Structure 1
Amino acid sequence: LMVHRQDEGLQGLEAEVVRCNLLDREGVRSFVKGVDAVIHTAAVISVAGGDPQGRLADVNIAGTRHVVDACLQEGVGRLLHFGTIHVFDPFPLEEVLDETRPLRTEGAGAYDRTKVAGNRLVLDAVEKGLDAVILSPTSVFGPHDYYPSLLGKGISDIYRKRIPMLIPGGYDFVFVDDVVNGAVNALERGRTGENYLLSGHYLTVKQLAALIGEVGGVRTPRRIVPMPVLQAMLPVFRIQSKLTGQPALFTRESLKVLKESPQRISSAKAEKELGYRKTEIGQAMKATLDWFADAGLLHG
């Protein structure tokens, strides 16, 4: 397993851990030498909109290029590349979104653009003979979220009443165990050059908070702040972020994502070809909250 910084989630696993930066071309090539398959999950995720420091482009484009090139040069048997639902154009929102939906172009944020570019690098390599498959999960949640992720922090904050009021909109949330099972099956059953959507369950933010409250046995926020009010407060969130050094509570991009999220994302292709299955959302949330509690992420 190649890691850069965080490796808490790997503790206790019978795996060799190698530290390497994706921007180290030769280091990446050395890592993939002699392996049967590579699962590329590393990425920088951002809902800030821009990329002033170039980290998104460095990791999501240059890093992916190094992985792809290394796999080609070393004759790796299969590359499993993790993309994202964000590469697909969300419009029209009312129609079912599947793998035939065009990729995002105009109006996309920096994260979306860099992930689209990463997908294209993989598909270009397929044309050169690389056996590669792309998986595109929605928003992943579940146990072993040590950092935690943006969604994991949101779940914890809602449970701990750190968020007094909710925001409009919603998203499709997928359980991490389902994504892992889909990935394992894709190694054996995925078709070269294909992209598979791994969706879960669409919930509004209000429904997500209610689910956390129901499963966790706590009272969670119910009131929703109107979108115009949130948009007017964005400058305040930016100033707060600069003062605290923490990511802004909301950004123009994050509000846009929740407002423009498709509610009907199909995983039919993955279900048919990979045997992909979805865990019941209540069961998934219980497993998540149980682990968060054991990890101390629901206290304080």
Structure 2
Amino acid sequence: MRSTFVTGATGLLGNNLVRELVARGYAVKALVRSRSKGEQQFYDLPSVELVVGDMADVEAFAAALHGCDTVFHTAAFFRDNYKGGSHREQLEKVNVAGTQALLHQAYGAGIRRFVHTSSIAVLDGAPDSAIDETCLRAEADADDYYRSKIRAERVLLGFLETHPDLHACMVLPGWMWGPGDRGPTSSGQLVKDVVNGKLPGLIPGTFSVVDARDVAWALIAAAKHGRRGERYLAAGRNLTMAQLVPVLGRIAGVKTPVRRLPLPFLYALATVQEAYARLSGKPILLSMATLRLLIREEHRTCFNHRKSEQELGLSFRVLEQTIGDTLAWYREHGGFKP
């Protein structure tokens, strides 16, 4: 591995992956949807070559794949989870068809190593049971986003069947936190809402919280040591919101709510927030899709990382470090109210 191509480079994971690759001495081409946003994100990394493009039109940037030997595919469409509404067509276009197009164009450019960022969305298990890479989710039990991630994996595995000289594997992250979350993602929005005093109470659900920098490390390890066609979990630690929010408040130095919000109130709140999202175009903390997901997945986020630990050497930094670094990044970049 010498020259790499990273999709979704300005996202939380992509940004941290690009930085980790540069720190290790690899050449990086970074796919960005906006050159100005890419320049803002990587102003301190002049060696990174920005490639402007969109996963909805892979052919338009395919020429930039030439000269690379490894693709790290981190880009994904997931706006239904923080902007509300239905995005089934876009999810299929970007997450499924986009992955298929990227595989074809990368292979045609001579690339023979491909690491796909999948998701814990493709896994399922009984409440309070340990879930590993073999516990696959049925499409019938998936929402639109989860279904798109399942289908993207099938596209990859199908491509491997007909292209025996391509080495590809999958890394499955949990709920990612960390510095560089310009979006913000749902984790960044939660951090901002807690510190700015906008969280009205605790919502239900359990989560597998992971530092995006640890996921970036797992992607690189998978490129070097992962077995062809295999899944590797990088989901992090199992936590409830009642465990997570107080830690966030303690490190941030703010008071946090202790009362769990009742479900009827949450459904009403999600309805109002979706209307706000449609009018303002701004991200929200609780969409209807997120609420349904929280209820469905409660107590189903205890993941077994034995395979990733043994084959990739994966480990996770402590939660307090992740939260502290995330808070520090937002303070430095004006993410909180004065």
TM-score bucket of the superposed structures, by smaller chain:
over 0.9
How much has 1:109 moved relative to structure 2?
1.1
In structure 2, the residue matched to 1:126 is 160
How much has 1:147 moved relative to structure 2?
2.1
Structure 1 residues 56-75: aligned runs within 5 Å? 56-75=91-110
Percent identity, aligned pairs only, is: 31
Aligned with 1:164 (options 184, 191, 200): 200
Indicate the SS of the match to 1:17: strand
In structure 1, the residue matched to 2:17 is none
The reply on whether 1:279 has 2:308 as its aligned counterpart is no
> Aligned equivalents of 1:33 and 1:109: distance in 2?
36
> Aligned equivalents of 1:233 and 1:289: distance in 2?
26
How much has 1:264 moved relative to structure 2?
1.2
User: Does the 8 Å contact 1:159/1:216 carry over to 2?
Assistant: yes
Aligned with 2:151 (options 100, 106, 117): 117
In structure 1, list runs of 5 or more residues that go unmatched.
Answer: none
How much has 1:118 moved relative to structure 2?
0.8
Q: One-letter code of the match for 1:2?
A: L
Change (3 A) 1:87 1:263: closer
In structure 1, the residue matched to 2:305 is 267
For normalisation by structure 1, the TM-score amounts to 0.93
The reply on whether 1:255 has 2:295 as its aligned counterpart is no
> Aligned equivalents of 1:104 and 1:76: distance in 2?
31
Change (3 A) 1:192 1:17: same
How much has 1:193 moved relative to structure 2?
0.5
User: Does the 8 Å contact 1:61/1:115 carry over to 2?
Assistant: yes
User: Does the 8 Å contact 1:28/1:66 carry over to 2?
Assistant: no
User: Does the 8 Å contact 2:172/2:233 carry over to 1?
Assistant: yes
1:213-265 CA distance string (max 9 Å, x none): 11112212222211233124443333333333334542332112222142311
In structure 1, the residue matched to 2:142 is 108
How much has 1:279 moved relative to structure 2?
0.5
Indicate the SS of the match to 2:140: coil
> Aligned equivalents of 2:97 and 2:257: distance in 1?
41
1:30-49 CA distance string (max 9 Å, x none): 12222110001111113247
> Aligned equivalents of 2:237 and 2:115: distance in 1?
24
> Aligned equivalents of 2:315 and 2:208: distance in 1?
15
User: Does the 8 Å contact 2:130/2:304 carry over to 1?
Assistant: yes
In structure 2, list runs of 5 or more residues that go unmatched.
Answer: 1-29
> Aligned equivalents of 2:333 and 2:284: distance in 1?
25
In structure 2, the residue matched to 1:141 is 177
> Which shifted more, 25-34 or 276-285?
25-34
Aligned residues, how many?
298
For normalisation by structure 2, the TM-score amounts to 0.83
How much has 1:212 moved relative to structure 2?
0.8
User: Does the 8 Å contact 2:192/2:335 carry over to 1?
Assistant: yes
Q: Report the aligned-residue RMSD.
A: 1.8
How much has 1:150 moved relative to structure 2?
1.8
> Which shifted more, 254-263 or 147-156?
254-263
The reply on whether 1:55 has 2:53 as its aligned counterpart is no
Change (3 A) 1:234 1:280: closer
Structure 1 residues 179-198: aligned runs within 5 Å? 179-198=215-234
Indicate the SS of the match to 1:80: strand
How much has 1:121 moved relative to structure 2?
0.8
Aligned with 1:10 (options 39, 42, 54): 42
In structure 1, the residue matched to 2:116 is 81
Indicate the SS of the match to 1:186: helix
